[in-house]
Structure 1
Amino acid sequence: MFNIRVLILLLVLLLGILFVYLHHEWRPTSFIPQTNTHRDRLSAEVTVNQIFHLVAPDHLKYKQPSIVHGRTDVVTLAPWLAPVIWEGTFNPVLLDSIYQSKNITVAATVFAVGKYIRFLKKFLETAERFFFVGFRVNIYVFTDRPKEVPRVQMSAGRKVVVHSVPSSDRWQEISARRMELIQNLIEEVQNSTDYIFCLDVDSEFHGRWGSESLGGLVAVIHPGYYRDDRGRFPYERRPASRAYVADGEGDFYYCGGAFGGLLQEVHLLAKTCHLNFKADAEEGIEAAWQEESHLNRYMWINKPSKILSPEYLWQDFKPRNPEIHIIRFSGVVKNYADIRPNV
């Protein structure tokens, strides 16, 4: 009897040790993804720190925040608890002080192909005045006319980098090619850049666009549809397309002309949209709004962690609605028949 009891106790002890060992070995560390090397793990830790660990300078003075007073005319939180950024919902001094201490670098991509080169000067000049002022910024210009890229004086820590790309007889092809080029760029700059925003060149900055826009995957609400029922959104409605969004589905309609976030998040978006566009093309399908359709499909499934209000891409021809307290970035009025190779 004694020997049997000892054996049972030893068996229980061994099982307990085995459980502790396995639990320790297979438990994921916080939010850090499983990686292959010590260097990769350190990189992941830095990424997590950039997103979640927000440290304000000691003794920084700013207005006391309130949880009972604020914007009541607009929705400031999506159903999946992603913040929707409007004027009056954030403190720019506080946010800048937090993110400047992280020494981040922000990239922006802009495509100035064909006659769209005419919009580049104003884009660069206004970006210098309003886009992430006080941060390190690299603006990557993709163009088939590199000799026509205007020289714009940039502040210290900010620069313009030109990438040559072929021209095209169809503006749809130019639009569709963007995701592949963005994917390739991210792979080139991944060791020197933290966040990236992909922006339309035929737009100008009119107000601050800064650290309040930083997030994992960042979408911008389209100014043309944000008051509409989703049944009116111009999603790709053909089930044969990989950009398909069925009737009764979808959250918001997002802009293809402004999106961004952490490099790894935007890389996954760009890669997925590119592969889906390519697979569609092999079957003779082109989504209704090219990469914008694929982007909306992607963000219907992969919810953005931060949403920027239509302040972040308005349209110059539209009158300002009462809830739009400031226009930060806006598409200029233009004649598409004049600037697009085919309409």
Structure 2
Amino acid sequence: MALRGCGERNTPSWLCLLLLLAGCLGFYRVISPKAQVLKPTRTDVLVMTPWLAPIIWDGTFDSTILDAQFRTTTIGLTVFAIKKYVVFLELFLRTAEQHFMVGHKVNYYIFTDRLADVPSVPLQEGRQLVVLEVRNYTRWQDISMHRMEMISNFSERRFLHEVDYLVCADVDMKFSDHVGVEILSSLFGTLHPGFYSAQRQAFTYERRPQSQAYIPRDEGDFYYAGGFFGGSVLEVHRLTKACHQAMMADQANHIEAVWHDESHLNKYLLYHKPTKVLSPEYMWDEQLLGRPPIMKRLRYVAVPKNHQAIRNR
């Protein structure tokens, strides 16, 4: 018997229950419209990289199909709430419960130096909060750069044994629309909202050859945001370990990349091509950038803040 997925509009609750039972018994099937080879879903934006990795925009994927494909997957979401940044954590978690990987197993990994300030937020079934105590640093730049080291270390020590994929995100943001398994891939990066339409020469790569993050002016595919990246735990471990080692080499040579860990992330993703690229829907600042017509949805957005006040406390 062919059953339609619950992702479709107006699906009766009894049918959703039947689908759930069918999935438990191992004969769940998803019926979806046939792909139209000669009718691309989006023609106003680039939907494929030159190395044939999909670029994820609204209208380019079917959540029903993907939810079925990833129904046994566990996702880890790492976030750093260090020093005063812990004030953003409650909104981050509450909006994640509304929009992030809904219906899937999620481990929230909270890196913080303020355990007593971690809020208690009701979680859906199959989701848990894991608080990881870490030290803080005097400069916000050092906090930012040491994220790579901490994610690398914990990936090896526990994430590899607990989750299938890792999503690494900034805490001073909120989820405002669906962010689901469509983002999952071996390695993904997100187009920076300030540079997705810019020419290569405008990218703020590290241009000093003395730095391990150096990218020549005639190289570069995209400029990726440091606040939303991920992939399989193994690939994230490789990325974060490589970036940390590069930053330590820079430190030994008394140089600091212009945009810290983001500069090293861009260098890594240039020479280790991501298998999926997320559009700026997944990292946006409406206050600074407005809302262009191509932005059908704003999925993960910046929270208005005084950067100077937050970083210096």
Under a length normalisation based on structure 2, what TM-score does the superposition of the two structures give?
0.89
272, 284, 303: which one pairs with 2:254? 284
1:297 matches 2:267: yes
- Of 75, 92, 103 in structure 2, the residue corresponding to residue 123 of structure 1 is 92
Is 2:285 the partner of 1:339? no
Aligned mate of 2:50, from 79, 95, 107 = 79
**Superposed CA offset, 1:127-183 (max 9, x none):** 011111111100111111110011000011101111111222100000010001000
Matched residue, 1:324 = 295
User: Hey, what's the Cα distance between the residues in 1 that align with 2:27 and 2:284?
Assistant: 34
Which residue of structure 2 aligns with residue 95 of structure 1?
66
Q: 1:221 aligns with which of 191, 203, 211?
A: 191
Task: Confirm whether residue 185 of structure 1 aligns to residue 154 of structure 2.
Answer: yes
Quick one: structure 1 residues 58 and 147, their matched pair in 2 at CA, closer, same or farther if it must change by over 3 Å?
closer
Matched, 1:145 2:114: yes
Identity %: 46
What's the CA shift for 1:248?
Answer: 1.4
- Cα distance in 2, alignment partners of residues 192 and 164 from structure 1: 18
Distance 1:268 1:127, change over 3 A: same
The residue matched to 2:220 in structure 1 has which SS?
Answer: coil
Letter aligned with residue 180 of structure 2: G
Q: Give runs of aligned pairs for residues 43-82 of structure 1, distance below 5 A.
A: 59-69=29-39, 70-82=41-53
- Secondary structure (helix, strand or coil) at the match of 2:227 reads strand
Aligned twin of 2:171: 201
CA distance in 2, matches of 1:285, 1:213: 34
User: CA offset at residue 57 of structure 1?
Assistant: 6.2
For this pair of structures, how many residues does the alignment match? Answer: 285
Please state whether the residue corresponding to 1:72 is helix, strand or coil: coil
Secondary structure (helix, strand or coil) at the match of 1:314 reads coil
- The match for 1:265 is 235
**8 A Cα contact 2:30 2:64, kept in partner:** no
Cα deviation, residue 230, structure 1: 1.0
Q: Deviations over 1:17-72 (max 9, x none)?
A: xxxxxxxxxxxxxxxxxxxxxxxxxxxxxxxxxxxxxxx96542222221222200
1:5-24 superposed Cα distances (whole Å, 9 cap, x missing partner) = xxxxxxxxxxxxxxxxxxxx
Give the distance between the partners of 1:283 and 1:63, measured in 2 at CA.
57
Q: Which amino acid aligns with 2:145?
A: A
Gaps of 5+ in 1: 1-55
After superposition, the C-alpha distances for 1:63-114 in whole angstroms (9 at most, x for unaligned) are: 22212222000010000000000000000011101110xx111001000111
User: Unpaired runs of 5+ in structure 2?
Assistant: 1-25
Show the counterpart of 1:248.
218
- Mapped contact 2:148–2:241 kept (Cα < 8 A): yes
C-alpha change, 1:96 and 1:81, in structure 2 (3 Å) is: same
Aligned AA (2:308): A
Query: Which of the numbers 93, 114, 132 marks the counterpart of 2:83?
Result: 114
Maintained 8 Å contact 1:258/1:313:
yes
| Cα deviation digits, residues 205-244 of structure 1 (max 9, x gap) | 0111111111011110000111110111110000000000
The CA RMSD measured in Å over matched residues stands at 1.3
TM-score normalised by L of structure 1: 0.81
Q: Where does residue 232 of structure 1 map in the other structure?
A: 202
Who wins on radius of gyration, i.e. which is larger? 1
- Matching residue's letter, 2:293: P
Contact kept? 1:140, 1:163, Cα under 8 Å: yes
Q: What is the DSSP-based 3-state SS (H/G/I as helix, E as strand, rest coil) of the residue aligned with 1:272?
A: helix
Amino acid of the structure 2 residue aligned with 1:207: D
Amino acid at match of 2:141: Q
Q: What amino acid is aligned across from residue 247 of structure 2 in structure 1?
A: F
- Take 1:63 and 1:249, find their aligned partners in 2: how far apart are those partners? 40
Could you tell me which residue of structure 1 aligns to residue 14 of structure 2?
A: none
User: Contact 2:200–2:222 at 8 Å: present in 1 too?
Assistant: yes
Query: C-alpha deviations, 1:273-317, integer Å up to 9, x for none?
Result: 000000100110100011100000000000000000000111131
Q: Tell me: CA distance 1:289–1:57, structure 2 relative to 1, closer, same or farther (3 Å).
A: farther
For 1:215 and 1:93, the matched residues in 2 are separated by 17
Q: 1:5-16 alignment to 2 at 5 Å?
A: none
TM-superposed CA distance for 1:332, in Å, is 1.3
Quick one: distance in 1 between partners of 2:161 and 2:113?
Answer: 27
Separation in structure 2 between the aligned mates of residue 119 and residue 192 of structure 1, nearest angstrom: 26
